[in-house]
Chain A
Amino acid sequence: MIEIKNIHKSFGENEVLKGISGKFEAGVTNLIIGGSGSGKTTLLKCMIGLHHPEQGEVFYDDREFTQLSFDERIEIRKEIGMLFQGSALFDSMTVEENIMFPLNMFTDQSRKEKLERVNFCLERVNLEGRNKLFPAELSGGMKKRVGIARAIAMNPKYLFCDEPNSGLDPKTSIVIDELIKELTEEYQTTTIVVTHDMNSVMGIGDYIIFLHEGKKFWEGSNKEISKTDIAELNDFVFASRFMKAAKEKF
Chain B
Amino acid sequence: MNFTNFGRYLLLLKSVFKRPEKTSIYVKAIFQQMNFIGVGSLGLISIISTFIGAVMTLQIAFQLVSDFIPKTIIGQVNRDSSILELSPTISAIVLAGKIGSAISSEIGTMRVSEQIDALDIMGINAPGYLILPKIIAGITMVPVLVIISMVLSITGGYLGGTLSGAVAPAEYIQGITTDFNTYTINVALTKAFVFGFIITSVPAYEGFYVKGGALEVAQASTRAVVVSCISILACDYLVTQLML
Contact = CB atoms under 8 A, between A and B. Distances in A.
Interface string A76-112: 0110101011101111000000000110111000000
Nearest to B112: A86
A77 B121 contact: yes
Contacts of A50: 117, 120-121
B22 A48 contact: no
A243 interface: no
Contacts of B21: 105-106
Nearest to B20: A105
B118 A82 contact: yes
A175 interface: no
Nearest to A92: B106
Contacts of B110: 90-91
Contacts of B123: 73-75, 77-78, 80, 106
Interface string B92-112: 000000000000000001100
Contacts of B113: 86, 88, 91
Contacts of B122: 77-78, 80, 101-102, 105-106
A84 B117 contact: yes
Interface residues of A, number: 24
Given A77-B123, A78-B123, A106-B123, A88 B118 contact: yes
A91 B116 CA distance: 12
A85 B114 contact: yes
A140 interface: no
Instruction: Label chain B's interface by main secondary structure.
Output: helix
Given A86-B113, A88-B113, A105 B121 contact: no
A106 B24 CA distance: 12
Contacts of A19: none
B117 A49 contact: no
A238 B22 CA distance: 51
A24 B95 CA distance: 51
Nearest to A90: B115
A164 to B, nearest CB: 14
Given A104-B22, A104-B25, A105-B22, A91 B120 contact: no
Nearest to A78: B123
Given A48-B121, A49-B120, A82-B121, A91 B22 contact: no
Contacts of A89: 115
Contacts of B109: 91
A88 B114 contact: yes
Nearest to A108: B22
Contact of B121 (A80, A85, A104, A106): A80
Contacts of A86: 113-114
A105 B120 contact: no
Nearest to B18: A71
B124 interface: yes
Contacts of B121: 48, 50, 77, 80, 82, 160
Nearest to B22: A105
B124 A84 contact: no
Contacts of B120: 49-50, 77
A191 B125 CA distance: 25
Given A86-B113, A88-B113, A105 B118 contact: no
A123 B122 CA distance: 22
B134 to A, nearest CB: 14
Contacts of A80: 121-123
Interface string B109-149: 11001110110111111000000000000000000000000
A101 to B, nearest CB: 8
A92 B53 CA distance: 38
Nearest to A50: B117
A78 B121 CA distance: 8
Interface of A: 48-50, 70, 73-75, 77-78, 80, 82, 84-86, 88-91, 101-102, 104-106, 160
30 contacts: A48-B121, A49-B120, A50-B117, A50-B121, A73-B123, A75-B123, A77-B121, A78-B122, A78-B123, A80-B121, A84-B117, A86-B113, A88-B113, A88-B114, A88-B115, A88-B117, A88-B118, A89-B115, A90-B115, A90-B118, A91-B109, A91-B110, A102-B122, A104-B25, A105-B22, A105-B122, A105-B124, A106-B22, A106-B122, A106-B123
Interface of B: 21-22, 25, 109-110, 113-115, 117-118, 120-125
Given A84-B117, A86-B114, 9 more contacts: A50-B117, A75-B123, A78-B123, A90-B115, A91-B110, A91-B113, A104-B25, A106-B22, A160-B121
